[in-house]
Structure 1
């Protein structure tokens, strides 16, 4: 047994943990990065990258089917095994790149082991060694939540297992209409699988705007079946899974449970830290520092269940790395403008804040937008929110072509404190999807006239 010491110990080598280790070491800390496998990040292995590879294949199939609108005649056939083989090959490339980066870390700072707390600044490792640290960062990630009725199903899938399928299923029930459920459901439907989404609520993808929610629901219902506000009950049935719900019953080859991901905190013995834990086993976390109460403990990334997004995990790791080294001094950091993207087609995007009392909202309909019609992608809606009486942009909810790119533009505008008039005064090239935002911005300007020093907007051609 060896007694190890360091300035900052990090438990978990995912996106948040790697960022935390890098941040602390860059600022002069002696670090120890502890992980049981160093297998790579959730993003590369079972999250962002494999899901986008499946979505990319689905988009190619859908584009081929829609080519007739341009006078292009095609015949579409989907080779399921080939789709999944390509997915895994490129997924493994991304994972290998992540592991190569981990391998470049100082060898004496990496420990392959499981860790558990024996005190607020002490860890016991599965190797038998112990660690005494100035501060400890928990970056253990998350795992799929599987409700009890689904745990023993023969056809059970999660986002941790779906990419290992050898072929596409003929039919798929998706339990949960959140980000993961929507992305994989639409992709599978476009690849030829019969898909139905079941959700106890009536809100898909965490949408904040009822108008956008309805447009999203209408668009998805043209490609797959939606059973919202239902309580599905599953059971194995002769090699398939039968789903019963209020008013119906159906059988599926596979069931994808996409009801969220829970923080990986089991086995850490957090109760030995002296922290007060809530009913979910989580301590209170300061969003500006990621510190747990006054303890030398920081909780980041998916493990804190606050902002389960890669760029947020990376930011949180960097914030905690600095704060852990500075402990007991408190080092608050400002957070970036919230930006969340669901890679449906068209993309579903939320930026900044939801509109509060007195806020003004402008809308832009993309069903008749010029560039969207040119590309045969004229579906969706953009809603932009501004404060009154100054017209300063505060948020947006988008479900329209190009929303994943326009979300970044709007996040920058919000961070810079721009008004709707300020954004209208910038160049909008014709014909682009970005140009389609102008009706929403003009609507805000009309509702908040005090922001207009002089009307320099020359308008757009009809249908733009």
Structure 2
């Protein structure tokens, strides 16, 4: 087989890998992109998009049931086969768009296969090809973890890579893992008429701060049971699988295992790459340059397990690709404010940094009394904003609230722009909107940090003075 010589080789054609290859090529490097399938990104095929399609179906069913609160009587009739066919049809369209973009890559860029290191800068592909590269980008993504104990019921086990292939909705579903994906799919399945129960060994939902986790837990458990600090044991049952835990036992037709997605690194033979690895087998790397140690090897996206989110994977891939092409002349980057969202209903999110109490103040708002939320029949949730005590500058937020995905973006932008609570209060808040709810928390921070509003400064026009508008 032939030996390829290239400037930059990228292992993995997901979001991070595609961004890395493109940016390396735009810097004038010759590139090679290796992937076993070139099937499309995780987001398009088994992650973000199909899960949101299922959630959209669940929202429609829930809206029909809730219509009675508004004087509209109806009862949804759910055809699971049709709902799942729509998920796959639109999902396949998203994935096809990604594959079509790959087809536009320069001829000879893509090599189908699995690569592994034989030495630093030298790779062997299972096709027999060898690749000598000046720099390497690892962008192999992650895979669903299924504990060994579930091998005995493997025929009933689903993961994010298989759940959307169901021909019809299961009668019942046990969900293992209360992370964002598990929560989203559990609630969606429940709203689509599936009997659902959730189990997690931890004491919080989706790694949320306690106050927000407790709020979301109270809301979700109105629809289906959630067992925390619980590690059930699976065993075969006549109609599916039996889960047994300390104080209970229940049978389910299917299990969805959403117990995490570790980096897909085991087949790379990293011991031959000359890299120092952490206890999980992941290379140590610089989050500003994506470089592994001092080697011309870079790692991006879910493969580094730092911020396993699509927008972060795209950013990391861009940095890794640029630096791989420019090596050894590296350029660091300032990372964006961390932003994590779980698309439950209501949505939950963590933005920025949740600090210890010392030196910081916290303002919160209970959405059970928020006007627009009441209008829409969605009055529930909690938002907590964190700011520096010395100047009221926002540093983080955690929330579980209607419209939470939009509130979280608004707060992320404010934090990245280094705004204070006073700065935010001086921006327009239309009425009536969900965003108005933030004002309660922002005002609390201003009081605790002894901040004045901009219109209260001596050099500002007083409200009600000539030409000034009164503050209401």
- Same fold, judged at TM 0.5 (above): yes
Aligned to 1:16: 16
> 1:294-373 alignment to 2 at 5 Å?
294-356=294-356, 357-373=358-374
**Deviations 1:374-431, CA, capped at 9 Å, x for gaps:** 1111110111111121000101111101110111111111111100000000000000
How far off is 1:278 after superposition?
A: 2.5
Aligned to 2:411: 410
Matched residue of 1:298: which SS? Answer: strand
Inter-partner Cα distance in structure 2 for 1:438 and 1:352? 19
Secondary structure, aligned partner of 2:369: coil
Residue 126 of structure 2: aligned partner:
126
Superposed counterparts of 1:375-414, under 5 Å: 375-414=376-415
Deviations 1:28-85 (A, max 9, x none): 1111111111010000110000000000000000011000111111121111111101
Deviation at 1:132, TM superposition (A): 1.1
How many pairs align? 459
Once the two structures are superposed, residues 135-189 of structure 1 have per-residue CA deviations (whole angstroms, 9 ceiling, x without a partner) of 0000011110011111231311111110011111111110110111100000000
Q: Aligned-pair distance for 1:454?
A: 4.3
Task: Say whether residues 1:264 and 2:264 are aligned partners.
Answer: yes
Tell me the distance in 2 between the aligned counterparts of 1:240 and 1:96.
Answer: 34
The DSSP-based 3-state class of the residue aligned with 1:351 is strand
Alignment match, 1:7: 7
Instruction: State the alpha-carbon separation in 1 of the partners of residues 471 and 173 from structure 2.
Output: 47
Secondary structure, in 3 states, of the residue corresponding to 1:118? strand
Q: Distance between the aligned counterparts of 2:355 and 2:218, measured in 1? A: 23
Alpha carbons 2:152, 2:235 under 8 Å: kept: no
The 1:187–1:459 alpha-carbon spacing in structure 2 relative to 1, beyond 3 Å, is: farther
Q: What is the aligned partner in structure 2 of residue 157 from structure 1?
A: 158
Alpha-carbon distance in 2 for matches of 1:104, 1:346? 40
CA distance in 2, matches of 1:427, 1:440: 16
Deviation of residue 230 (structure 1)?
Answer: 1.2
Q: What residue number does 1:437 align with?
A: 438
CA distance in 2, matches of 1:420, 1:450: 8
Match of 2:459 in 1: none
Does residue 274 (structure 1) correspond to residue 274 (structure 2)? The answer is yes
SS in 2 for 1:289: coil
Moved over 3 A (4+): 450-460
Distance 1:278 1:352 in 2: 25
Tell me the TM-score normalized by structure 2. Answer: 0.95
5+ long unaligned stretches in structure 1: none
Aligned 8 A contact 1:4 1:130 in 2: yes
Matched, 1:112 2:112: yes
- TM-score of the pair, normalised by structure 1: 0.97
8 Å Cα contact 2:337-2:412 kept in structure 1? yes
Deviation at 1:127, TM superposition (A): 2.1
**Pairwise CA RMSD of aligned residues?**
1.3
Equivalence for 2:54: 54
Structure 1, residues 211-249: CA drift from partner, whole Å, max 9, x if none?
111111100110110111112111011132111101111
